[in-house]
Amino acid sequence: MDEVWTVRAGQVPYEEARDAQKRLEVARQAGEVPDLLLLLEHPPVYTRGRRSTPDELPMGEEWYRMQGIELTDTDRGGRVTYHGPGQLVGYPIVSLKRYGDDVHEYIRRMEQVIIAALADWSVDAELVEGLTGVWTPQKRKVASIGVHVNRGVTTHGLAINVNNDLQPFEWIVPCGIESCRMTSVARELGAEQDLDGFATTVRDRFGEVYERTPVEVTADELSERLLDLEALAGAAPALR
């Protein structure tokens, strides 16, 4: 399948988005849907990856909740990070078969997507040896990457700071990197940016780098497709 279905889901609570990814992961593994790219935002939340340690949240969990920020554990790689309104989150549900089942190749392409999208918006970005994510030449981190692979299909993905509040990063050890300075597209350019327009750029660059044709699908259309597949699966015994 050469298409990548792109869904702009708006603001979605983190746990709801994770549940959706799990359902889509199963459908992709079964070949019932093509590759997918979910583009969305989250309400304020700290997510802890598989390598997170307690010292990355030095204020204590209750203090963060008092600031209106949820905390949750997740099965992606990496450590603790922050998601919030104004940050563009991309969750590709992608089969790695076309990329030789090479997760490192997959992540390299994701880095290329981010760097190219930022360049389209006049933000210079690069990789830093030994550190994850994407950085400005001044060593300010503008995007994070964390993925999970199950039976050859990816979940989780990328988060690019566009217009989001950067203060919550100051209260943690972001991505486990001491003295990590975070930035955003808005901070680098000195003004708030068009988040939906930036999402379009990421969609287009994703298609180019991963050699897919983006096809916009609404969340409702995707839900209907999944319900149709579930109904068909439920009817299958009666059809034998």
Please state the domain extents for the chain. 3-233
Output the pTM of the full model: 0.91
Query: Residues 121, 130: contact at Cβ < 8 Å?
Result: no
Does the structural domain 3-233 have CATH classification 2.60.40.10?
Answer: no
Residues 71-103 as b/e (b if ≥16 CB within 10 A, e otherwise) read eeebebbbbbbbbbebbbbbbbbbbbeebeeeb
* Closest by Cα among 44, 154, 162, 17 to 98: 154
Given the residues 88, 114, 175, 180, the one annotated as active site? 175
Contacts of 123 (CB under 8 A, 6+ apart): 136, 142, 185, 188, 189
Question: Residue 76: what pLDDT?
Answer: 80
Query: Residues 88, 39: contact at Cβ < 8 Å?
Result: yes
3 state SS of 139: coil
Tell me the average pLDDT of the chain.
90
Lowest pLDDT segment from 208-212, 215-219, 223-227, 233-237: 233-237
Kindly state the average pLDDT of the residues 222-231: 74
Query: Residues 92, 37: contact at Cβ < 8 Å?
Result: yes
Instruction: Using DSSP bridges, classify how beta strands 35-41 and 3-11 pair: parallel, antiparallel or unpaired.
Output: parallel
Q: How far apart are CA 144 and CA 131, in angstroms?
A: 10
Question: Residue 234: what pLDDT?
Answer: 45
The Cβ of residue 191 has, within 10 Å, a number of other Cβ atoms equal to: 9
Lowest pLDDT segment from 59-68, 119-128, 172-181, 194-203: 172-181
Residues 225-237 as b/e (b if ≥16 CB within 10 A, e otherwise) read ebeebeeeeeeee
Q: How far apart are CA 77 and CA 239, in angstroms?
A: 42
Lowest pLDDT segment from 19-33, 71-85, 197-211: 71-85
Strand partners, 50: none
50-91: pLDDT as tens digits: 777 778 888 888 999 999 999 988 888 677 889 999 999 999
Q: Which two tokens stand for residue 79?
A: 């450590």
Q: How far apart are CA 63 and CA 85, in angstroms?
A: 20
Tell me if residue 175 is catalytic: yes
The Cβ of residue 154 has, within 10 Å, a number of other Cβ atoms equal to: 26
Q: What is the dihedral of CA 91, 39, 110, 35, to 10 degrees?
A: 60
Kindly state the average pLDDT of the residues 113-139: 95
pLDDT: which is higher, 143 or 49: 143
pLDDT class of 229 with cuts at 50, 70, 90: low
